[in-house]
Amino acid sequence: MDALKAFFDKFKESFDDMDSKKRTTVGGGAGALVLLVIFLSMSGGNGGDVEYLPLYTDIDLKEAGELAGQLREMNQDFKVGGDGSIVMVPEGDRLMLRNALAAEGFPKTGFIGYEVFDEVPLGMTEFLQEIKHQQALEGELKRTILLLDQIEDVRLHVVLPKPSLFTDQEKPATASIMLNLRQNMRLSNPQIQGIQRLVASSVEGLDPNHITVVDNLGNMLSEEMDPLARMTSKQLEIQRDVEAYLESRTQDILNRVLGPDQAFVRVSAELDFDQRQEEINTFDPDNRVTRSEQRNEESSAEAGTKENTVSNFEINSSIKRITGSVGRLKRVSAALMINDQKPVIGLEPGEFRTEARTQEDVDYISEIVRGAIGYDDGRNDLLTVSTFAFATQDLKRAAAKELQDEETKELIMTVVWQVAKAIAIVVALLILRAIIGAIGRGVAREEEIAMEAQRELEEDDAGEELPETPHEIILGRIAQLISDRPEDAAKLIRTMLIEETQRNRGGAA
């Protein structure tokens, strides 16, 4: 307690020495801490906010009313959302209620899957079977899509054209999906493509490119179905990614070398998406190979035998087929803006002063940027460097704010450290008190066990004693008499002594 009192006295002295600004900061921090403690205690007492999840969705209003009445009879909390067709219950009770309500026959409407065929009425026509099959297929797909955490509700329509006898007259199957996303959630492009492929794999003859996905605001989520438009969009996306990568890498180097807000770079990349196939035939006339040889002999009386030889040669050749890469970096253009005034390093905190940047510094920074973007003269790359004075008001304000933040941080750390020490002292005292109490309880228990053992031992010894003799019985009665009636015992002893004295005198006479 003395240490805690000394801490509060020291904190009071420090608080009195502060100026009004620091007092306001400390007071605001203490108030925020108190509010935080109150908020946490209230939150802990209330058990936190209960998250409600849909029990059933897309049911008609009549069944929603029946379901609400059933939940009231079960004394179950629930909410009704949407247009009255969505019943929501606490997250922890959702699965239990589904099992309990399934025994009552719920849901009767809403997402109906293949359970529609559990009871097939007699006389169902082929047309009704096809309609129910499509309804069941759409319901099953909705249930599967709703398993995604980002999706709150979904509407799905599948169009299955009638088969045709002629191939050129057949129409492809199509589908449309409208997603109602949860608040502050969105789907990535791979997830949207995954939904398209999921639906396409579940419907015979359905191509993922024939599935349109929109959100509840009407925004198109799926990509364009036109191959040319899709290719163009993909090329622009790749180009933006390359430019963003080069800018991020270069800007990071500039910030590390010069400091923040001293230089900026913007990159424009030109990519070549043309796919080329090149074939090169090389012939080597010096390296010939005999392909065939033909010999003829002619005999005559005048000339005798004459031999003619005809040789056919094959010239050695090599063929190379080269396929050019798609998305090759064709040209890079970059714009570099440098502040012609650089801040002086080594000043006191909160002090700000600048000096002129030399041309040597500008050339050095330009070389850094050329290396970062992979500058190549062979591609006719372009780097434009500009130097001018940046606005210094923000830098001065940043320096002043940095000093203020540093002081505030130091003050907060001091207060937190002192509070932590006080809490540590209180916790140590509580632990010490608990240890002392445990030791005291242990000693008392040991004494109690020792006394019980002594009593048991005495009882065992008493049980083993031999029967008392008449002499011992008389002595015991005399001791009991002395204990119960001490005055009478004293009179009796006095009388016995007097009689013994008189007896001794009479014998002597």
141, 218, 59, 118 alpha-carbon torsion, rounded to 10°: -20
Burial class, 303, CB count within 10 angstroms (exposed 0-12 / middle 13-18 / buried 19+): exposed
Q: What angle do CA 362, 368, 370 make, to 5 degrees?
A: 100
Burial class (CB within 10 angstroms; exposed 0-12, middle 13-18, buried 19+) of 213: buried
The model's confidence at residue 333, banded by pLDDT at 50, 70 and 90, is very high
Q: Is the dihedral of CA 119, 125, 131, 134 positive or negative?
A: positive
Contacts of residue 239, defined as CB under 8 A and 6 or more positions apart, other chains included, come to 269, 271
Lowest mean pLDDT among 21-35, 176-190, 307-321: 21-35
Is a pLDDT exceeding 80 seen at residue 218?
yes
Tokens in use for 482? 């002395």
Which of 211, 235, 215, 237 has the alpha carbon at shortest distance from 224?
211
Angle CA 196–198–200, to nearest 5: 65
Q: Which two tokens stand for residue 374?
A: 């992979």
Tell me what pLDDT residue 167 has: 75
- Strand ranges in 245-358 using DSSP code E only, listed in sequence order: 263-272, 277-300, 304-323, 328-339, 341-343, 354-356
- Under DSSP, the state recorded for 497 is H
Determine the longest span between alpha carbons in the chain, in angstroms: 212
Predicted local distance difference test score (pLDDT) of residue 506 = 63
Model confidence at 214, in pLDDT bands (50, 70, 90)?
Answer: very high
C-beta of residue 154 within 8 angstroms of C-beta of residue 180:
yes
Are 54 and 88 in contact by the 8 Å Cβ rule? The answer is yes
pLDDT, tens only, 267-305: 999 888 777 777 777 766 676 667 777 777 777 666 667
User: How deeply is 178 buried, as exposed, middle or buried, from its count of CB atoms within 10 A (0-12, 13-18, 19+)?
Assistant: middle
Check pLDDT > 60 for residue 204.
yes
> Which amino acid appears at position 348 of this protein?
E
Tokens coding 442: 């242990």
The predicted pLDDT at position 367 comes to 92
Residue 99 has pLDDT above 70, yes or no: yes
Cβ contact 174:206 at 8 Å? yes
As given in the structure block, the two tokens for residue 347 are 């000043």
230 vs 432 pLDDT, higher one: 432
Sheet with 206-215, edge to edge strand ranges: 151-159, 173-181, 206-215
State yes or no: pLDDT of 57 exceeds 50: yes
pTM over 0.85: no
Residue of 89, 28, 30, 13 whose CA lies nearest to 57: 89
- What percent of the chain is modeled with pLDDT above 90? 11
Chain segment 134-189, per-residue pLDDT in tens: 888 888 888 889 888 888 888 899 988 887 777 777 888 999 999 988 888 888 88
Nearest one of 362, 347, 337 to 261, comparing CA atoms? 337
Q: How far is it, in rounded angstroms, from Cα 353 to Cα 344? A: 6
DSSP letter for 301, please.
T
**How far from 143 is each of 111, 138, 203, 396, CA to CA, in Å?**
7, 9, 15, 58
Would you place residue 47 in the very low, low, confident or very high pLDDT band (cuts 50, 70, 90)? very low
Amino acid identity of 218? G
Average pLDDT, the chain: 76
